[in-house]
Structure 1
Amino acid sequence: MPHVISQDGTRIAYTKTGSGPAVVLVDGAFGHRGFGPNVDLAPVLAESHTVYAYDRRGRGDSGDTQPFSQTREIEDLEAVIAEAGGTSDASGPVAVYAISSGAPLALDAAQAGLPISKLVVYEAPFVVDDSRKPIPDDFLARLNALIAQDRRSEAITYFMTKGVALPGVFVMLMRLMPAWSKLKKVAHTVPYDVAGLGDTGAGKALPAGRWADGKVPTLVVAGGKSPKWMQNAMTALADVLPDARHRTLEGQMHIVKAKAIAPVITGFVDD
């Protein structure tokens, strides 16, 4: 199994497909090389680009060295980018696409100076106004407590209802579906995503300085059929980034279709 070694010694598994300019895919919560919307995206992008899909720590075939910190996840992404050909002068040929809670990880990586040529983010789950209830102040603490007790289904339900704002009835139906068991396998990594969000779910303006030094050209994308709070968040994100464009992808929701987002990604990173 191809892998890179992160700075703390953690093995990070990845798959390389296609040929052409390099694009690294960063998953959101629960996602990895075998699960989530990026699974379908990788082969579509591989028709014209070299695609690096990797398992974030604790998922799939990657390790999970403790203690966790957001810095470790940035170092994991840095190792994958280096494998893809990224250079230390921050002008390397490696683009990054990040979806959902993978977006703040990629934004933080750009802020840290990783050699990312261009960045595309799709629907970071920020809450920037009163268009939905804010994420509870004790959200991360309660998730950690549920995971510590191995109450994985309860942790997922709490995350989906209070974090993602899905109706409780919908989440109850999800528990009857085969995908629920896949969610449970990686439920222990959900607090990692929440930690990366910081206070961006509090229902207030995004912190203007968090990504002020991230000069990477960035395309911020929202789905035209996604909830208003997600669309508002992406408008707000584009406004605070130093070099950003904003686009609404009509007809798409949070689980974006590969054939819809792929040309958006390639059109931006190849421009």
Structure 2
Amino acid sequence: MRSADGTTIAYDRFGSGPALIYVGGATMTRNSDPDLSALLAERFTVFCFDRRGRGDSGDPMPPGAPAQNEERAAASEVEDVAALIAEAGGSAMLYGMSSGGALALEATASGLPVTRLAIYEAPFAEDSPAQRKGAAEYATRLTELLGEGRRGDAAALFMSITGMPEETVAQIRNMQTWAAMEAVAPSLAYDAAVLRYYSRGGTVPVESLAAVTVPTLALSGGDSPAFFGSAAQKIADGVLNGEHRVLAGQTHYVDPHVLSAALIEFLGA
């Protein structure tokens, strides 16, 4: 499939029923969450796709550039979602995981024919001068590393801002899976763009939430850091028809069976 600007977007289609587009988070490809996809495919036609710069999808922007060109990069990813909705028959539900939730939220707010929206732990931060400064510094450094072709260092930088200890990052860099991490590292610039690290410090897009009028479920894990739940509550409060639900005992690495049950209950309503 080709997006509006001609970029190739790779996707897989599973199951049958109402169309549901799964928007993956940072470093995820269309093959990253097969268990959840299979569970959802029992009730829905699930579209899993590689976001720009990942897997088999293209990326016309220079490495790192999306982080500095937030509006253009985010608009391109929204166009990718629009193309998938067209492939799905003209309307669809969206489920966004982590930063994919930020993209799903933006796509819905833009007026695409989305019928229901579900988000799990979009990583919007609490607003503070220190947060805004740190987010902009991260986006600047990420752009520099990717522009220099230092994909491994860019991936390590991303892991560090998630709170991963330096020694753990060093151990992961010696694993066989590190090559896959380096391969998707350029797409981290798109995550920085859709979260608006430069212009908004990665905080909740309060000003655009009112444009989301479809039923919206913002999920968070009961054992996750508090900012995930805070962001989910702000989303639920800001959209026209929103609900915040906490999945007891869950973290950002959510159990697919627990998550699928909540999604099926909401999306199948």
TM-score (norm 2): 0.89
TM-superposed deviation, 1:176: 3.0
Equivalent residue, structure 2, for 1:8 = 5
- For 2:155, the equivalent position in structure 1 comes to 156
Corresponding residue for 1:136?
135
Which residue of 2 is the match for residue 232 of structure 1?
Answer: 230
User: 8 Å contact 1:224–1:253 — kept in the other structure?
Assistant: yes
More helix by share: 2
* Structure 1 position 64, deviation (Å): 1.3
* Cα distance, 1:65–1:261 mapped onto 2, change above 3 Å: same
Name the counterpart of 2:79. 75
Query: Does the 8 A contact of 2:209 with 2:235 survive in 1?
Result: no
Q: Is residue 2:71 matched to residue 1:63?
A: no
Aligned amino acid, residue 154 of structure 1:
D
Decide whether aligned partners of structure 1 residues 253 and 104 sit closer, same or farther in structure 2, where only a CA change above 3 A counts: same
In the alignment, the residues of structure 2 paired with residue 254 and residue 110 of structure 1 have an alpha-carbon distance, to the nearest angstrom, of: 23
Task: Look up the equivalent residue of 1:149 and give its one-letter code.
Answer: E
Q: 1:165 to 1:61 in 2, by over 3 A?
A: same
* RMSD, aligned CA: 2.0
Deviations 1:183-208 (A, max 9, x none): 1101011011101101587486x342
**Shift, 1:244, TM fit:** 0.8
- CA pair 95-203 structure 1, distance change in 2 beyond 3 A: closer
Distance 2:202 2:40 in 1: 35
Deviates more, 1:221-230 or 1:70-79: 221-230
* Residue type at the aligned position of 1:27: G
Secondary structure at 1:12 match in 2: coil
Contact 1:217 1:243 in 2 (8 A): yes
Corresponding residue SS for 1:234: helix
Could you tell me how far apart the structure 2 residues matched to 1:218 and 1:262 are? 16
Which residue of the other structure, out of 26, 29, 44, is the alignment partner of 2:39? 44
Aligned to 2:246: 248
Q: Deviations over 1:244-269 (max 9, x none)?
A: 10001112111212111111111101
Q: Are 1:125 and 1:201, in contact at CA under 8 Å, matched by a contact in 2?
A: no
Supply the distance in 1 between the matched residues of 2:16 and 2:87 (Cα, whole angstroms): 14
How far residue 75 of structure 1 moved from its aligned partner, in angstroms, is: 0.3
Residue 30 of structure 2 corresponds to residue 33 of structure 1: yes
In structure 2, do the counterparts of structure 1 residues 113 and 150 end up closer, same or farther at CA, with 3 Å as the change threshold?
same
Letter in 2 for 1:50: T
Deviations 1:121-158 (A, max 9, x none): 0001111157x966432221110100111111211121
Counterpart mapping for 1:254-265 below 5 A: 254-265=252-263
Aligned partner of residue 117 in structure 1, secondary structure: strand
Q: Equivalents in 2 of 1:184, 1:113: separation in Å?
A: 34
- For structure 2, the residue ranges without an aligned partner over 5 or more in a row are 67-72
Cα shift readout 1:225-248 (whole Å, capped 9, x = no counterpart): 111222222222222222210001
Number of equivalenced pairs: 257
SS in 1 for 2:9: strand
- Is contact 1:174–1:180 with CA below 8 Å preserved after alignment? yes
State the 1:109 CA deviation. Answer: 0.4
For 1:70 and 1:202, locate their aligned partners in 2 and report how far apart those are by CA, in whole Å.
15
The 1:249/1:167 distance shift into structure 2, 3 A limit, reads: same
Which secondary structure state, in structure 1, belongs to the residue aligned with residue 123 of structure 2? coil
